[in-house]
Amino acid sequence: MKNQLVDALITPIGQLDVLSKYEVAKLLDHSQGGLYTLFRNCSLAVLNCGNEMDDGKKLLERYQSFDIQVIQVERGIKLQLTAAPAIAFVDGKMIRGINEHLFAVLRDVIYTHEMITGNPNIDMTDPEGISSAVFHILRNAGILHAKTEPNMVVCWGGHSISRHEYKYTKEVGYQLGLRGMDICTGCGPGAMKGPMKGATIGHAKQRIATGHYLGITEPGIIAAESPNPIVNNLVIMPDIEKRLEAFVRAGHGFVVYPGGAGTAEEILYILGVLLHPDNRGMPFPLIFTGPANAADYFRAIDQFIGDILGEEAQKLYRIIIDDPASVAQAMAEGIQQVRDYRVQVGDAFYFNWRLKIDTEFQQEFKPTHENMRDLQLHKDQERHLLAANLRRAFSGIVAGNVKDEGIRAIEQHGHFEIQGDAEIMERLDALLASFVDQTRMKIAGTYEPCYQLVRQ
């Protein structure tokens, strides 16, 4: 079934169904200025739901004959699919959730191009302009609701985790669901799917029929982390930096499960943001958790953070091991503090406007060999800026591991060279080695490092 291909004509369900002739032309334009390649590759990732493949390059190569065309009809639009993965269909009909995700891709690709990148009123070099762009994309996707109480828990963690760890993420999600909390993840498999799956049971027991399972992704990673079928709201942000900002602006509490380089990137992002002096004292519930066998994993993470960013960074999170109910209780208490604080200062429940995010965390970082080699990994700088540069290092490793563009760059030019202070490189080497030993870098196969560390 996985290797079979299907041709189909698809009608949108509850999503974008009207486009202008100009927008259609852009989607069909194969030139560098067109949207066809972006739309095609994101659509292919959505159609690949259920296939455990975390290699974006292999996915695109496997389905080279796949094509998607927008067809204007009298009452709207349809999508003509050629050689699409059969896994997206049942008895010749596309699975409804995949249909919704497919048109969410269309919606976000069009909106970002027309209303964000091409909008002279949004300055993408200015911190406020970038935050406004994130806000507009989320609002256009129907994610932001003014009258909703704070209850969105963002769950981060690896796509390549053990069965036991996956089961634990479901148990935590179940406890969160019992307490009426919604779930937001990076939308892929593993620790991104488990909390949503658990929450659906908790919501069902509480007769909550409006459970919100939000998946936020970006074009570079979506091929390696196809949206899981539980996601009922999918948003495609322009790049990883806007994706991370969307998480911290829309979420009310954060749970981090075991993971690899991508999870380390997320941890360093949020710690770097919270270490900014302007964010001192702002309630921001952040919990690291996993089953008993994950204790050593979080001990290593905690040690790395303490050695590199200091005790102040360690005080920004709690570590709770093998206790799903305690995680959910602590999260409920933390979100109540968030609610009280936002009432006090007059901030919105649906978007954290007051959080200061330095431009170092907002500007897109392209993990080229030159940019990776030029990272400033030394302690002679403010801690939140060091966290920003460490975040970029892990972002590059993720790219080299699973993203099509990154994998091709490694094949062409060899390993990324990451250089910095001897102490930082020593700690980084130990942490990355532990990820490799615990098979947290890839779902399957022998992991070949895409990086080499150089001590200065």
Q: What is the pLDDT of residues 4-39, one digit of tens each?
A: 889 999 987 756 666 777 777 878 777 766 788 889
Region 115-135: what's the mean pLDDT?
91
Outline where 79-187 has alpha helix (H): 96-111, 127-140, 163-178
Region 408-437: what's the mean pLDDT?
93
Integer CA distances (angstroms), 317 to 84, 230, 302, 313, 445, in order: 44, 28, 10, 8, 33
Residue 183 scores a pLDDT above 90: yes
Residue 456 scores a pLDDT above 90: no
* Domain 132-456 architecture: 3-Layer(aba) Sandwich (3.40)
What is the Cα–Cα distance from 106 to 292, expressed in whole angstroms?
A: 42
pLDDT of residue 120: 87
Region 352-372: what's the mean pLDDT?
94
pTM of the model: 0.92
Of residues 52 and 10, more confidence is placed in 10
Amino acid identity, position 334: G
> What residue ranges do the domains of the chain occupy?
5-121, 132-456
393-426 burial code (b ≥16 CB/10 A, e <16)? bbbbbbbbbbbbebbebbeeeeebbbbbbeebbe
Region 99-114: what's the mean pLDDT?
90
pLDDT of residue 409: 92
pLDDT of residue 186: 94
Of residues 17 and 421, more confidence is placed in 421
DSSP string, 278-329: GGTT----EEEEE-GGGHHHHHHHHHHHHHHH-HHHHTT-EEEES-HHHHHH
Residue 1 scores a pLDDT above 50: no
Phi, psi of 385 (to 5 degrees): -75, -35
The half-sphere exposure of 375 on its side-chain side, counting CA atoms within 13 A, is: 34
pLDDT category at 96 given cuts 50, 70, 90 is very high
Q: What is the 3-state secondary structure (H, E, C) of 36-58?
A: HHHHHHHHHHHHCCCCCCCCHHH
Evaluate the CA torsion angle 304, 305, 308, 310 in order and state its sign. negative
In 3D space, the residue among 388, 142, 418, 45 whose CA is nearest the CA of residue 245 turns out to be 388
Of all residues in the chain, the percent with pLDDT exceeding 70 is 95
Q: What is the pLDDT of residues 208-239, one digit of tens each?
A: 999 999 999 999 888 778 899 999 999 999 99
Task: Identify the CATH number of the domain defined by range 5-121.
Answer: 3.30.1850.10
Q: What is the pLDDT of residues 281-339, one digit of tens each?
A: 999 999 999 999 999 999 999 999 999 999 999 999 999 999 999 999 999 999 999 99
pLDDT category at 412 given cuts 50, 70, 90 is very high
Give the containing element (helix H, strand E) for 411: helix 404-413
pLDDT of residue 240: 94
CB-based contact 43:68 (threshold 8 Å): yes
Task: Give the tokens for residue 23.
Answer: 């927008």
pLDDT of residue 54: 60
pLDDT category at 89 given cuts 50, 70, 90 is very high
Region 374-394: what's the mean pLDDT?
94
What is the Cα–Cα distance from 456 to 443, expressed in whole angstroms?
A: 33
Q: What is the pLDDT of residues 245-254, one digit of tens each?
A: 999 999 999 9
Region 432-454: what's the mean pLDDT?
83
Residue 42 scores a pLDDT above 60: yes
Region 145-174: what's the mean pLDDT?
94
pLDDT of residue 299: 94
CB-based contact 16:103 (threshold 8 Å): yes
**Residue bearing tokens 């290797």:** 3
Integer CA distances (angstroms), 292 to 164, 258, 319, 321, in order: 10, 11, 12, 6
